[in-house]
Amino acid sequence: MKRLIIIRSGSTSWAEAAQAEADRSGNGEPVDGSLIQQATTTVVNAERERRLQGTLPLPLSEQGKTALVAVAEQLKDYDAQCIFSSGNESSGPTAEFLADLCRLKCKVNPDLKEMNCGLWQGLRYKDIEKRYNSAYKQWRSAPDSICPPEGETFCDCQNRIEEGLLAVLKKSKGQTAIVVLAEIAAGIAECLLTDKEPSEFWDIADNPEIVRIFELDEQTGSKSLSGKLVK
């Protein structure tokens, strides 16, 4: 049985700034004494303050590095020789940091790069929603039906990611394949592997889990991906 581990690229200073802003905006007393409501409000605020990184290069934050130390401990249980990434965005620095911790090789495949989100890159999600209201709402409900201005379509990115993963699997025969992907690319990869529709993409992409482990069907070969999430 083939195994593929997808690691979401580590936290950057943008993510920390968004969380700090959310914490500040949620510092009031819990409404009706509800701690759950306050926690939910903070999560929602963090999401709205979050910025869309896209293909913009950002280094890992210290918080991101700390989280990856625990990930490295998990990876030591698997028979891998290298970690693949696009070499760009925050996925490149993440792969290099993990490879150094695990004493693995670090290899680059440009097909694994994050979706190019064009003019939306660098903006907070709440600002994208405000400036491009109808387009953004459509992107969230049916991501394959719209292209961010001056960006890349969902389908083009999906095809590219598929080619990249198939190439990685081909080079990892007999061993666990480890891939670091940025947020949107990771969600697209999971959709491909588990045969999910584009309408289900954001449920996957918004999942905060850093590590996702898949067992691939034996028929997975040079032209198609198929597997199941096991962890």
C-alpha dihedral (90, 91, 93, 96), degrees to nearest 10:
170
* Residue-range domain boundaries for the chain: 2-12+58-229
Residue 11: per-residue pLDDT? 84
Residue 142: per-residue pLDDT? 97
Whole-angstrom distance, CA of residue 201 vs CA of residue 188: 7
Whole-angstrom distance, CA of residue 45 vs CA of residue 30: 15
The pair of structure tokens assigned to 167 is 């190439």
Q: How far is CA 127 from CA 49, 51, 113, 186, in A?
A: 9, 9, 24, 23
Residues in the chain: 231
| DSSP designation for 54 | T
Secondary structure (DSSP) of 159-228: HHHHHHHHHHHHHTTTS-EEEEE-HHHHHHHHHHHHT--GGGHHHHHT---SEEEEEEPTT--SS---EE
Q: Which amino acid is at 201?
A: F
- In this structure, are strands 211-216 and 227-229 parallel, antiparallel, or unpaired? antiparallel
Per-residue pLDDT of the chain (231 residues; tens, 9 = 90+): 689 999 999 887 666 665 666 566 655 455 555 544 443 333 445 566 889 999 999 889 999 999 999 999 999 889 999 999 999 999 999 999 999 999 999 999 999 999 999 999 999 999 999 999 999 999 999 999 999 999 999 999 999 999 999 999 999 888 999 999 999 999 999 999 999 999 999 999 998 899 999 998 766 655 567 777 887
For the domain bounded by 2-12+58-229, which CATH number is listed?
3.40.50.1240
